[in-house]
Amino acid sequence: MHTVVVGTSGVSAADVVAVARANARIELSEEAVAALASARAVVDALAAKPEPVYGVSTGFGALATRHISQELRAQLQRNIVRSHAAGMGPRVEREVVRALMFLRLKTVCSGHTGVRPEVARTMADVLNAGITPVVHEYGSLGCSGDLAPLSHCALTLMGEGDAEGPDGVVAPAGELLAAHGIAPVELREKEGLALLNGTDGMLGMLVMALADLENLYKSADVTAALSLEALLGTEKVLAPELHAIRPHPGQGASAANMLAVLKGSELTGHHQDDAPRVQDAYSVRCAPQVAGAGRDTMAHARLVAERELASAVDNPVVLPDGRVESNGNFHGAPVAYVLDFLAIAAADLGSIAERRTDRLLDKNRSHGLPPFLADDAGVDSGLMIAQYTQAALVSEMKRLAVPASADSIPSSAMQEDHVSMGWSAARKLRTAIDNLTRIVAVELYAATRGIELREGLTPAPASRAVIDAVRAAGVQGPGPDRFLAPDLAAADAFVRGGHLVAAVEPVTGPLA
């Protein structure tokens, strides 16, 4: 099994995905353990002084004015976890919770939080055991950290609340820890606060969204090329010299991908109209510009994610010179903005894919294809309602593109009077990505059927490879009407699992 070693300087996006989705094993580096011990010594020294220090010997948030005596501090740390574990709604996905816990461990190991090494080891042990705290949909405003989600994770470390075992069964956390030989942690000064105060949930979802969108943007380039081919469009608009004079990197990459897929096609540039087309419709001709802008949006989001992965987000923090200082680094604005930006780009990619699909089904615009790609139009409805489903998904994506980060709602008696709503931005982006996958799958279904209905013309070798692979995956080709949902589900699984890109690349080489 792959092992991820957590040090003091952050982790990579690949590490997050490996832990969240592939159950990679976690180890702490010697450097991290030493940094943990050093920072803890600073906190212990401050705890012994009579002067109040926020998070060490005071209450929290709007209650920070109260100095807490030493005999109550352990109770204070337990109480913050219990009271903040106030999430509601459906359970959050296992991969999100694992990413959340792993990224909190990453910050703990930075040596800036003052958490003891044994707490960090317990966090790693819980993840390695496959124990997943029950975290709920609602409870984070994306400021002062993803508070409720992280609190539910910290509650598991204390042996309280519920968690899911490696067998998928939810049980009391204390029982699961005992079954795996893990002792619950007894939190000391600052540790409860340090386990709750980070952007880890929204960051984990951003990292996984970028991994998913990497596959989807390549897949959308392929389906756009297949639609162009099925519509007998021209590939001349994809020429590198045209994109070189508007040098957006994503646009050039998308055009190059489409051109590679179409290489060797006998369908492009043919016309069955009385008057040959001078230009293809925007949804076909401008595919690289729209997908390319989304790719450049991803590049910016990836830069933000990389910076956040290298960050130590906590309040207060232990600085190298031994000071413990309050700060506002927990505010989720940088992450929230790009989560919303990605939702906008994804919605537009879904929108242009739906327009190409609709064009394939309309006999007045499909340049000779049968209405709705039906076998016997009138008796058969073909893919009419598949496009309805796609249109419904696009409509929801437009609603999901409304930014969460433009909102703010005050909390904690106006102490936390401006929040990022980054968790909400991340949650809706996950739904948007699910929808986009289905939208691309419907275009794939329609475009491959359209190509197969072009009798007497040979598609590009890459297109042929896609058709063969998708048919082998259980997505049926042209023919009389049948129960369509299973075909669409198979197409969705084909795109979601990366099989569309995998089918093309042996012919085209690696797509950009």
Known catalytic residues? Answer: 54
Cα-flanking dihedrals φ and ψ of residue 420, to 5°?
Answer: -90, -25
433 with 212: CB under 8 angstroms? yes
Q: Of all helices (H) and strands (E), which one includes residue 36?
A: helix 30-47
Structure-token pair, residue 377 = 């139009």
Residue 5's alpha-carbon distances to 13, 34, 153, 177, 203, in angstroms, are: 13, 14, 21, 22, 19
357 three-class SS = helix
Concatenate the DSSP letters of all residues of 297-308 into one string.
Answer: HHHHHHHHHHHH
Beta pairing class for 170-172 and 324-325 = unpaired
Structure-token pair, residue 200 = 């880890």
Cα-flanking dihedrals φ and ψ of residue 411, to 5°?
Answer: -145, 175
C-beta atoms surrounding 154 within 10 Å: 31
Q: Does the CA dihedral 485-487-490-496 come out positive or negative? A: negative
The closest of 49, 66, 50 to 58, measured between CA atoms, is: 66
- Please state, in angstroms and rounded to a whole number, the distance separating the CA atoms of residues 434 and 416: 33
Q: Give the angle subtended at the CA of 252 by the CAs of 500 and 281, to the nearest 5°.
A: 75
407-413 LR contacts (CB < 8 Å, sep 24+):
409/141, 411/141, 412/61, 412/62, 412/144, 413/61, 413/62
10 with 306: CB under 8 angstroms? no
Structure-token pair, residue 445 = 């279904």
Rg (alpha carbons) of the chain, rounded to whole number: 26
Structure-token pair, residue 44 = 């212990």
Concatenate the DSSP letters of all residues of 173-208 into one string.
Answer: HHHHHHHTT-PPP---TTHHHHTT-SSHHHHHHHHH
281: which DSSP letter? -
C-beta atoms surrounding 339 within 10 Å: 34
C-alpha of 460 from chain center: 33
Q: Give the angle subtended at the CA of 177 by the CAs of 172 and 182, to the nearest 5°.
A: 160
